[in-house]
């Protein structure tokens, strides 16, 4: 894997507050992508299979449906993620360790995340699942905030689509690997143990890469009021950032709705004879489609210097995919939707990530601002269960996927409100 061409010595890490100009090499991108994949394994092994399996086993003992129990657990964890990602991003912005701003948080988050996954594997009821999953979200978001902020720290603007593509590929490989580990390791506890091992070990190659430390003199004076005020996204001061946030939120909401109840959709609406295996097959198909477009889409965006047309087209494709799930609730329909959703989300993942880094207001707060932006990834995890459970109860899966179609189309159209990016 390469992300740049040309000979010459590998450049050292740049000034942490400077706008990067030297193109990063393939080894750096590969190690960052592996760390990203490790974190996504820690998230999506539970989300795709393990949490749903635990909910199905223990929900009756709490007098609730499996859908409701899963909504409580995933919703509570997503609420923690909403806060954890920007807070840890802001803390990493201020970290003046000799090991760099980001690496200490990546290491601590990954190791504590692995321990939290092991704890989750021992949960036997609603509240133990809620607490353990919240710990997983807290710790892995610390690592994720630091890994994400490394891109605007190190990657020049016209390489961010390509690097974002590799990170998107790593994300879907993490989803597939997490789903596979959860499905094939022979039990819930074993699945969590495998995900924990990957989360801890996968960040190690990236941690061996040097990172320039933040000079202590460059760290701003501490003010609790100023620290908290920094998390407020003011649309009047930064309208492009606000519109970009809303676009990401809506498209991710559509994707979250499409994935959250996939196991139950295959079991209850499609009537698949082995829904767990069906989830794995659809995830693999989706991954293949995503991998076919995620790097190429980002690189193409870099070459053209344009972002918005790619975001628009990807949102429309995702809307078509969720509309298929609404109107063609069969196994072939699910396969077709998985292909289209993968193509659309692949392009969106790489190009929208580059777009987000292009509209960041200030270098000194990249981690914080990316954390605020990443709320647009986490908030749909809160709202999707809260919206999906009553929608499914009242109108079935057809209504659920039609709502996802509307969200994807709205996100695609609103990208045109961003003025500072082509």
User: What average pLDDT does the structure give for the chain?
Assistant: 89
Apex 278 CA angle, 335 and 263, nearest 5: 105
Retrieve residue 112's tokens.
């504590």
Residue tagged 């630091």 (tokens): 146
Retrieve residue 154's tokens.
């190190």
pLDDT greater at residue 219 or residue 302: 302
Tell me, what's the pLDDT at 261?
78
What global pTM score does this model have? 0.81
Query: Mean pLDDT throughout 194-201?
Result: 97
Chain segment 357-383, per-residue pLDDT in tens: 988 888 888 999 999 888 887 788 778
Tell me, what's the pLDDT at 396?
87
Tell me, what's the pLDDT at 12?
57
Q: How far apart are CA 326 and CA 183, in angstroms?
A: 26
Reply yes or no on whether the pLDDT at 152 is more than 70. Answer: yes
Position 231 confidence tier, pLDDT thresholds 50, 70, 90: confident
- Quick check: 3 and 24 in contact, CB under 8 A? yes
Reply yes or no on whether the pLDDT at 144 is more than 60. Answer: yes
Tell me, what's the pLDDT at 14?
66
Reply yes or no on whether the pLDDT at 417 is more than 60. Answer: yes
* Most confident segment among 34-38, 176-180, 187-191, 377-381: 34-38
Reply yes or no on whether the pLDDT at 153 is more than 70. Answer: yes
Chain segment 247-297, per-residue pLDDT in tens: 999 999 998 888 777 888 999 899 998 998 998 899 889 889 988 999 999
CATH 3.90.340.10 assigned to 26-215+234-417: no
Tell me, what's the pLDDT at 212?
87
Reply yes or no on whether the pLDDT at 171 is more than 90. Answer: no
Reply yes or no on whether the pLDDT at 10 is more than 50. Answer: no
Reply yes or no on whether the pLDDT at 2 is more than 60. Answer: no
Percentage, residues of the chain above pLDDT 90: 59
Query: Mean pLDDT throughout 192-202?
Result: 97
């Amino acid at each position: 894997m390469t992300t740049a061409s040309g000979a010459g010595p590998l450049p050292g890490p740049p000034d942490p507050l400077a706008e990067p100009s030297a193109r990063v090499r393939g080894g750096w991108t590969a190690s960052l992508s592996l760390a990203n994949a490790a974190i996504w394994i820690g998230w999506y092994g539970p989300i795709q299979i393990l949490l749903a399996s635990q909910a199905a086993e223990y929900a009756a003992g709490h007098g609730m449906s499996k859908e409701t129990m899963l909504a409580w657990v995933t919703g509570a964890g997503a609420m923690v993620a909403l806060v954890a990602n920007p807070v840890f991003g802001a803390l990493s912005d201020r970290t003046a360790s000799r090991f760099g701003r980001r690496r200490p948080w990546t290491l601590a988050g990954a190791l504590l995340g692995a321990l939290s996954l092991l704890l989750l594997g021992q949960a036997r009821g609603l509240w133990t699942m809620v607490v353990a999953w919240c710990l997983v979200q807290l710790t892995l978001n610390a690592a994720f905030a630091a890994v994400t902020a490394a891109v605007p720290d190190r990657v020049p603007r016209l390489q961010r689509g390509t690097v974002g593509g590799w990170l998107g590929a790593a994300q879907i490989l993490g989803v597939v690997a997490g789903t596979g580990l959860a499905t094939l390791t022979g039990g819930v506890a074993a699945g969590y143990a495998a995900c924990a091992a990957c989360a801890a070990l996968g960040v190690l190659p990236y941690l061996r890469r040097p990172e320039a430390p933040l000079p202590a003199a460059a760290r701003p004076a501490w003010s609790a009021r100023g620290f908290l005020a920094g998390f407020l996204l003011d649309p009047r001061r930064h309208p492009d950032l606000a519109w970009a946030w809303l676009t990401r939120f809506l498209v991710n909401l559509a994707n979250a709705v499409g994935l959250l109840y996939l196991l139950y959709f295959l079991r209850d609406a499609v009537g698949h004879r082995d829904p767990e295996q069906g989830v794995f097959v659809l995830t693999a198909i989706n991954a293949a489609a995503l991998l076919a477009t995620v790097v190429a889409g980002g690189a193409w965006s870099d070459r053209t210097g344009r972002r918005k047309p790619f975001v628009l087209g990807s949102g429309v494709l995702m809307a078509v995919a969720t509309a298929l799930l609404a109107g063609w609730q069969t196994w072939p329909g699910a396969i077709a939707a998985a292909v289209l959703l993968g193509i659309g989300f692949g392009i969106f993942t790489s190009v929208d990530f580059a777009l987000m880094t292009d509209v960041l207001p200030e270098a000194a707060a990249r981690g914080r601002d990316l954390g605020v932006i990443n709320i647009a990834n986490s908030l749909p995890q809160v709202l999707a269960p809260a919206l999906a459970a009553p929608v499914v109860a009242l109108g079935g899966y057809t209504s659920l996927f039609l709502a996802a179609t509307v969200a994807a189309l709205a996100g695609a159209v609103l990208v045109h409100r961003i003025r500072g990016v082509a």
